[in-house]
Structure 1
Amino acid sequence: MASQRAPRRRSLVYVVLASAVVMGGTGAGTAYMKAQAHADVGRVSSAAAAPVAAGASEEASVEPVADPTPTVAPDTLLSQAMKSVSVAAGAAVSVAVLDVASGDSATYGDGAFDTASIVKVNILAALLLRAQDEDRGLTAQEKRYATAMIEVSDNASASALWTAIGKAEGLAAANERLGLTGAEGGSGMLWGLTQTTAADQLTLLQQVFAENGEASALSGASRTYLQGLMGSIAVDQDWGVSAAGATGTAGGRFALKNGWLPRTATGLWVINSIGRVTTADGREFLVAVVSDGNATKAKGVSLVEAAARAAVSVFTSTDADSDSSTDTAS
């Protein structure tokens, strides 16, 4: 029996427009003619690009192309996450976070804040750079000052090392090498009034916690030393960014430095926290939170901790959503 050729399918647009010709008069007929011409051009182009195989339909079939899944910038995700953080009237907060494994980062807010005692990490980094330049280790006295300054936030020790690095001028020289662009040292001995941004503090943390020498101006020995002190802070200073990680210092769960400063003129508090946190599943994040205008120290601590948790959630929540969608896909 001779094979019969399948009837050609009429395009839906032809059917619709043909109906319109009957119902709509001359205007609809014009639309039909334009559509017919456009369709003919499409068929000619398709035929030129790929000749029709014998026995196949003469009409070119066009497969729909799916749009790629849109992505949302980490900064946007962090801004959305921060909507859940309650910020009291008159207070301000800025946060920056880096997912160590992926290298992705996000920042919320770009204002300058007083450092209070978080500048002590910057002071020690400057001192270590100076010692590197002189091809020496820290002296016994410098180590005593450094330990007290970081672990228990001793101010007298900070003042001694602030002087040793050359105060604001020495800090600026070190920060140029460390890549900090938004920091300005406090006047005279007022190291706690050094100005900084959350983004700059994240840059400093990247210098301290870099895994290879190419990524940091600090030597491996200097980085290890600073990390060790930040991982040995006093128990009563276990607050701030550590709230975004697993509980406890065992296994290097966090390494941080906090800063707090009541302003004499207003009675309001500057509360800051920077460091590395490790989540329960072993993921590492560098987090920097700076704030001011807090009514009390306790309220400032709560604000900083909420901001740190929101920052880390940008990456952990996204991953959880992705895993969930993968599991349910057929």
Structure 2
Amino acid sequence: MSPARVSVAALDPVTGEGVRRGDGVFVTASVVKADILAALLLRARDTGRAVTAAEWSRAAAMIGHSDNDAASVLWRTIGSAAGLDAANARIGLTETVAGDGGYWGLTRTTAPDRLVLLRELLGRDGEAGRGLLDQEARDSARRLMAQVVPAQAWGVPVVADGSAWAVKNGWMPRDATGLWVVHSVGRVTSGGRDVLLAVLSDGHATMAEGVVRVEAAARTAVAALRSAARGGRGRAVGGEARRAGDDG
């Protein structure tokens, strides 16, 4: 396998226990589509209206099929880069910067920031978060991310017990190197507990190689979270805990 970078963060949204391994800033590829969805939901809430049928149709295509044309339309709907940065700042992301010139896939982010987003977008009542989105909006987002096409149901779902998962993946080769960016972020039920999980990676010779690494990192992170919980050594990831170092 080629040299590659991998950064993974996992969080129990109920207890706040978390683990993180590997650092770095990564271009998002299509995982930024989760940010676009969150910004769309916030925009609808702010203007006191429901998301329109046309917007929902595009959101379903953007998340379920990773449709780029639908993402580009919604990117403009939310105010492009400025709109995304404003929404993410409200949610609490501090290490994510929208891509310039309409290149939303070149947004830059970190694994801990992905967990901050997932906490808001896929959270449930009683879990920590800023509470910007109501439960109906979060449930709708989770349903979209639970219905991705089978060919894109890799990464985070590999650690799920049964069918309880929601995921958005991203993948693309970099023009300068030909090496692949491969990411997976989402929420799963694993070992009887809910987990928010973000795996970011780049430098892969092929997409398939990246998927193998991402799924291995997901398994390792969830196992480490279980171990930390048993030993009382869990560290929260996201918010204040983003300043903690790697766990193990």
Whether these two folds match at TM > 0.5 is yes
Distance 1:223 1:319, change over 3 A: closer
Aligned residues of 1:167 and 1:188 also touching (Cα < 8 A): no
| More strand by percentage | 2
Question: Is the CA contact (8 Å cut-off) linking 1:99 and 1:284 kept in structure 2?
Answer: yes
How far does the alpha carbon of each residue in 1:235-272 deviate from its partner, in whole angstroms, 9 at most, with x for none?
1111011112224x2xxx11000000111221110000
1:169-195 deviations in Å (ceiling 9; x for gaps): 000100111000000101121100100
8 A contact 2:19–2:225 mirrored in 1: no
Unaligned stretches of 5+ residues in structure 2? 233-248
Q: Is the 8 A contact 2:18 2:225 kept in 1?
A: no
The reply on whether 1:223 has 2:138 as its aligned counterpart is: yes
Aligned to 1:288: 198
Give the 3 Å change call, closer, same or farther, for CA 321–112 of structure 1 in structure 2.
closer
Q: Partners of 2:183 and 2:152 in 1: how far apart?
A: 12
* Pick aligned residue for 1:195 from 105, 108, 115: 108
Taking structure 1 as reference, are residues 111 and 319 closer, same or farther at Cα in structure 2, changes over 3 Å only?
closer
Q: Deviations over 1:246-301 (max 9, x none)?
A: 24x2xxx110000001112211100000001112x421111001001111000100
* Code of the aligned partner of 2:87: A
TM-score (norm 2): 0.88
In structure 2, what is the equivalent of residue 235 of structure 1?
150
Give 2:97's aligned residue: 184
More contact order relative to length (CA 8 Å, sep ≥ 6): 2
Distance 1:300 1:112 in 2: 17
The structure number with the bigger radius of gyration is 1
Counterpart AA for 1:217: L
Pairs aligned (count): 230
Mapped partners of 2:231, 2:92: distance in 1: 35
Structure 1: gaps of 5 or more residues = 1-87, 323-330
Map of 2:165 onto structure 1:
254
Aligned-residue sequence identity (percent) comes to: 50
Letter of the 1:90 partner, please give it: P
* Aligned: 1:274 with 2:191: no
CA RMSD of aligned residues (A): 1.7
Residue 132 (structure 1) aligned with residue 42 (structure 2) = no
Single out whichever of 119-128 and 236-245 deviates more from structure 2: 236-245
After TM superposition, give the deviation of residue 110 of structure 1 in Å.
Answer: 2.7
Which runs of 4 or more aligned residues in structure 1 lie more than 6 Å from their structure 2 counterparts after TM superposition? Answer: none
Instruction: Tell me how far 1:220 sits from its aligned partner.
Output: 1.6
State the alpha-carbon separation in 2 of the partners of residues 237 and 118 from structure 1: 12
After superposition, the C-alpha distances for 1:107-158 in whole angstroms (9 at most, x for unaligned) are 2223110100000010010011011000001111101100000001000000
Map of 1:116 onto structure 2: 29
Rounded to whole Å, the distance in 2 between the matches of 1:196 and 1:295 is 22
- Matched to 1:224, the amino acid is D
Q: Which SS does the other structure have where 1:294 is aligned?
A: coil
Higher helix share: 1
Tell me by how many angstroms 1:321 deviates. Answer: 7.5
